[in-house]
Structure 1
Amino acid sequence: MQDLLSAGPGFNLVDDLDKARAAFDLKIETVIQGYEETISYEDTDIPGPTGPMKTTILRPKHQKHTTAEDTPGILHIHGGGHCTGSRFFGVNTVLPCITALGAVCVTAEYRLTPEHPQPAQLDDTYAALAWMSDHAQELGFNPRKLIVYGGSAGGNLAAGVSLLARDRAGPSIFGQVLIYPWLDDSNQTFSMKQCADIPPWTRKKNMVACDYALGKNREHVSAYTVPSHATDLEGLPPAFIDAGTADPLRDEGVDFAAALLRAGVSVELHLWPGCWHGFDTMVPNAPISRRAMAARVEWLRDLLGRS
């Protein structure tokens, strides 16, 4: 993770995109350090809208459930501003959920911007969601206990596919875990200005990433790609949303949580004092990162206990 800390504050998404991608292109051996004895993984390809998508399936080595009926599934969606990152970026934050809940986790690649603007990322993620749901039996989990989990741009996609699955009557999503999610394209929230220059994710980088994903001269943006534009949030799955208080994206999560509550959706919201964007991914052993990850586990445990 040291490469992320050193490259994060300094890279420029316009001039140093290759450098940024290299820093965020993690190896699974690095990501699961400390979990080698408890989690197994296997790589595969799954069908996507434009061809095969590289995918990794993670499972607890010591199964907590006797049947697939009791086993939850987690679709992990990586962050990176839609323009960087791989399927392993952010997976370290979901490992406690896998071990504590006995969950099967799928994490898949998606096409990156600016080469492939939205809705390429949304379409790829929805394809991964559909594949996971369709293959629940062979993967060994209950498709009625399918969770979408994503940080930053992954939170954007988790919220987007939750809306899309609802409107298409697609795969059933049991809950959505949105970690410091990118939900708005205005770049005008109070936190976006208040925390504009706090690395590793600044307002300037967010503006470039928005342009890469949505175009510079955007007028009509789909709520599936920018969930803050959604006018109907009824019927969405329960949500866990969190962010750091020093995160430029903080208020997007707060505003979305309030909108979900007004629509009658169950929400748990956490704001972690002094934390910056991606704090738990980059410094996972910090006490507050452990608190954040434990809170997500407990929310999921409680949600699954009600099923």
Structure 2
Amino acid sequence: MSASVSTSTPAPMVRPALDPDLAAVHRGIPTLDVGTDEERAAYREFLHTIFTLQNTLRGKEETVVSEERDIPGPAGPMRATIFRPKHQTHSVDEIPGVLHIHGGGLSSGNRYLGLTVLDWVETLGAVVVTAEYRLAPEHPHPAPLEDSYAALQWMSAHAAELGFSPRNLVVTGGSAGGNLAAGVALLARDRQGPTLRGQVLMYPWLDDRTDWPSVHQYGDIAPVTEADLLDASTLAFGANHEHADLYTAPTRAPDLSGLPPTFLDVGAADVFRDQDLAYAAALWRDGVATELHVWPGAWHGFDVFAPDAPISRRAGAARLDWMRRLFSSDRA
């Protein structure tokens, strides 16, 4: 199935208008075309061309430094990039360590995709690690999840070397990275693994099922259409969703108690809106301190593709403010 063929997408439902600064941007963005081997190869190449270390650091070269490292994974070494402040001004006991997990529909992308948290390095002195993981369909779930959990274990074990406080470990990701971040938090809880101080889930893909009103309502908008989502779901979870469980599709988790404080945000025009709202409600139900933001008229990945839009800047500021408050509780 080709996700770029507009006739495969049903007519949109009645819906609120898009944010005026974002309304036209999505028309120039390729959709998550991963349905065939050829389309997937082309889309992967497109993302690797756009999301590079050079583009990630643009404008931050004077404040942020990077280091390349191979870290151990379940199937062999995983390439990782470590970001630190060029001039650290915080004491080690207050420095956060942040595992960033990239998006891309679990079938594309690299460690620089969606890396919008370098402001945390500049402002909080955070050490950010972002690592590659195996991609579907060559490696469907739980391979990406187990790779991401291995990255968390490595980061926690090397906190002193990396220069952050092990009690200030946070996991974050957007879209498919949010899927993996939420799954990693559940694994850490249930395997008695590294203790997480918080999780930041940005418009996360939390459910393998696609029959949500927001999917139908905004399923004609790039970068993720309804047809794209059906393709990506089959690749990652299997034709019969045999790879979907409470860790790979966190909305299936019957109990979310014991998870760390959570920041979750999503656009009102995002295909994942309704599953994200359901997950936030489940977190509240099970006693997890959770802050939810729904950005009016914002489509999926808006801040990655339109970083200078006012609403993107508001989203980034809200995440940073939550992180500040998370760690300021030590001094309360």
Q: Distance in 1 between matches of 2:80 and 2:32?
A: 30
Q: Distance in 2 between matches of 1:268 and 1:140?
A: 28
Which stretches in structure 1 are left out of the alignment for 5+ residues? none
Q: Is 1:125 matched up with 2:145? A: no
Q: Which amino acid aligns with 1:60?
A: P
Contact kept? 1:5, 1:282, Cα under 8 Å: no
Q: Is 1:39 matched up with 2:64? A: yes
Matched residue, 2:209: 186
Q: Is 1:50 matched up with 2:75? A: yes
Contact kept? 2:32, 2:105, Cα under 8 Å: no
State the superposition RMSD in angstroms: 1.4
- Shift of the 94–13 alpha-carbon distance from structure 1 to 2, 3 Å rule, reads farther
Matched residue, 1:9: 31
Matched residue, 1:71: 95
Matches within 5 A, 1:171-250: 171-218=194-241, 221-250=244-273
Larger radius of gyration between Structure 1 and Structure 2: 2
Structure 1 residue 249: deviation in Å? 0.7
Q: Which amino acid aligns with 2:305?
A: M
Contact kept? 1:245, 1:273, Cα under 8 Å: yes
TM-score, scaled to structure 2: 0.88
Percent of pairs with identical residues: 54
Matched residue, 2:300: 277
Matches within 5 A, 1:250-265: 250-265=273-288
Q: Which amino acid aligns with 2:63?
A: T
Q: Distance in 2 between matches of 1:220 and 1:74?
A: 27
Q: Distance in 1 between matches of 2:242 and 2:156?
A: 34
> Residue deviations 1:1-38, cap 9 Å, x none?
xxx97452384532411111011112100111111111
- Shift of the 113–268 alpha-carbon distance from structure 1 to 2, 3 Å rule, reads same
Matches within 5 A, 1:19-34: 19-25=42-48, 26-34=51-59
Matched residue, 1:166: 189
> Residue deviations 1:135-168, cap 9 Å, x none?
0000000111000010000000000010000000
Contact kept? 2:34, 2:231, Cα under 8 Å: no
| Number of corresponding residues | 302
Which stretches in structure 2 are left out of the alignment for 5+ residues? 1-25
Q: Distance in 2 between matches of 1:51 and 1:275?
A: 38
Structure 1 residue 280: deviation in Å? 0.5
Matched residue, 1:303: 326
Q: Distance in 1 between matches of 2:135 and 2:27?
A: 22
TM-score, scaled to structure 1: 0.95
Q: Is 1:86 matched up with 2:86? A: no
Q: Is 1:152 matched up with 2:175? A: yes
Matches within 5 A, 1:95-134: 95-134=118-157
- Shift of the 124–219 alpha-carbon distance from structure 1 to 2, 3 Å rule, reads closer
Tell me the SS of whatever aligns to 2:145. helix
Contact kept? 1:7, 1:20, Cα under 8 Å: no
Matched residue, 2:309: 286
- Shift of the 36–6 alpha-carbon distance from structure 1 to 2, 3 Å rule, reads same
Q: Distance in 2 between matches of 1:218 and 1:275?
A: 29
Matched residue, 2:5: none
Q: Which amino acid aligns with 2:95?
A: T
Bigger RCO (CA 8 Å, 6+ sep): 2
Q: Distance in 1 between matches of 2:121 and 2:32?
A: 33
Contact kept? 2:29, 2:222, Cα under 8 Å: no
Q: Distance in 1 between matches of 2:147 and 2:30?
A: 26
- Shift of the 232–291 alpha-carbon distance from structure 1 to 2, 3 Å rule, reads same
Contact kept? 1:247, 1:275, Cα under 8 Å: yes
Q: Distance in 1 between matches of 2:274 and 2:63?
A: 36
